[in-house]
Amino acid sequence: MRIGIAQINPIVANFEYNFSKIEKFTKLAKEKQCDLVIFPELSLCGYIPEDLIFQKDFIANTEIYLEKVKQLSNITPILLGFVLKNEGKGKPFFNVVGFFQNGRLEHIYKKRLLPNYDVFNEKRYFEEGNETFVLNLKGKKIGITVCEDGWNTEFSPSYGLYPVDPVEETAKEGCDIILNIAASPFYYKKVYLRETMFSSIAKKYKKPLVFINQAGGVDGIIFDGDSCIFDCEGKIVKKAKRFEEDFIVWDTEEIGEGSFPVEENENKLIFDALTTGVRDFINKIGAKKVHLGLSGGIDSALVAVIAKYALGRENVLGIMLPSPYSSEGSIKDSVKLAGNLGINLEKIEITPYFEVLKSQLPSKIGDLKDITEQNIQARLRGLILMAYSNNNYSILLNTGNKSELAVGYATLYGDMCGALSVIGDVYKTSVYSLAEWINYVYGEIIPKEIIKKPPSAELKPGQKDQDSLPPYPVLDAILEDYIENCKSEAEICERRGFDIKLVEKVISMVQKYEFKRKQAPPVIKITSKAFVSGFRFPITSKLKG
């Protein structure tokens, strides 16, 4: 039996576009003499549709394009994910996979385990299924599961979260092949974890396992593709591209050499995810051009590199916005970086506007405090960058990192402006690691002066980040333990050997500045818990250790 794996990059609720992909790969499956073609979870509408699902046009379009899929199945049998309206009691919809053959929808499998953590909110929309489904085709029995259905085995970090294990129940039905049809969001530690988990499942049940995943970006959520076929020993015998659309064919009778999952370079995974996130966000909103504030610092340098590789140098503009306190070195470094990347560069001084406000505002609001003067400069930059967006239909990329976002070291309506937060889920220490990796792989793109100099907002004389924050290696260790590992203050101190007062101070800053994060742009998610998309935290909270 020949199975086609169609790893597609859908656009949410663009049914015509998504169907064109389904049609293209179904015809390709026919050309490749496949007996079945499989598409990812909810691939007819794209994952994650969120509250678009409640719109009448959404269900109407679903029904229209399901008819088209039925006709398409006259070419080759199809397994396809879509939203099904629930005509009975419970939540209004089901997350289903349909088996289409000979112009008919012959069977529907309803997803059984519905995640409701991190970026997931499936119980808001879907009712749980309660039956297994083993597809009998061409003498092979294929046990079908959908994404989270495969994550309640003993090999999963979420084992025990649900009362049933659909994989085990499906295996007991006597299937020959275990299939997991997914839209599995990316974070950089998940790739190896997921491959190891499915490898262990295949080995335990001594059955080949097919994992198919969506590719591409949806807002700040990245789907890494990486669809894999595991043999009975848990070895990967076929693998699709990562972060891209791809089509692979697996012959169930073919015996090939495989390899067990291996951990890959974290910097490469993160860089590829970030470029995918920028590329798909800009392309899917119908834009082409982007710009960013180029400060001469390492954060904006990294974002400029990502933007260039995501969109091409001709579509990226760096805007230097020097203040009275900007160093000559920062300006020179920005010019050198732009030259290395081949991107366009513009310089707009903010000092004249700043001097006007300094002279005019005190008579209206009182003498300006030091922090007020700093924030005025940041907001002038944001004002100019957003004015450029309005005037040139260019999308502003935000350049703030996760460390700053966590502790509020960023100015609302200033350096927090932007349509997309490119590195808002990247800690400062990881920013440096990525910069070093980029220079190692691509040559010295980021000037070494940018990497070596102490980070500074340059909003007052001699300012350094470390005047207000702990050293970044210390800060990031505390933040990672608190945000992603959910450790208490005492546990962090015991684990890291840090002073309790320091840990308390950092955590209080995280709690205090949630009101800023609620107003931040969408963040490209590369860790297990990103702000805006996966970190649910009330503004008015006060949890003391």
Task: Give residue 165's Cα distance to chain centre.
Answer: 27
Burial 367-402 (b: 16+ CB within 10 A, else e): eeeeeebbbbbbbbbbbbbeebbeeeebbbbbbbbb
Report how far residue 16's alpha carbon sits from residue 83's, in angstroms, rounded to the nearest whole number.
Answer: 16
The DSSP line for 306-331 is: HHHHHH-GGGEEEEE---TT--HHHH
Task: Give residue 18's Cα distance to chain centre.
Answer: 20
Report how far residue 243's alpha carbon sits from residue 273's, in angstroms, rounded to the nearest whole number.
Answer: 7
Which tokens belong to 379?
């907001």
Instruction: Look at residue 36 and give its three-state secondary structure.
Output: strand
Which tokens belong to 253?
């009778």
Environment class of 160 (CB within 10 Å of its CB; exposed 0-12, middle 13-18, buried 19+): exposed
Report how far residue 452's alpha carbon sits from residue 432's, in angstroms, rounded to the nearest whole number.
Answer: 10
User: Per 3-state DSSP, what percentage of the chain is helix, strand, and coil (rounded to 5)?
Assistant: 40, 20, 40
What is residue 376's DSSP assignment?
Answer: H
Which tokens belong to 103?
């112009």
- Within a 10 A sphere around the Cβ of 532, how many other Cβ atoms? 21
Active site residues: 41, 111, 147
Radius of gyration, alpha carbons of the chain: 25
CB 333 within 8 A of CB 360: no
Q: What are phi and psi of 476, to 5 degrees?
A: -65, -35
Structure-token match 């930059």, residue found: 381
Which tokens belong to 243?
């972060």
Which tokens belong to 480?
């990672």
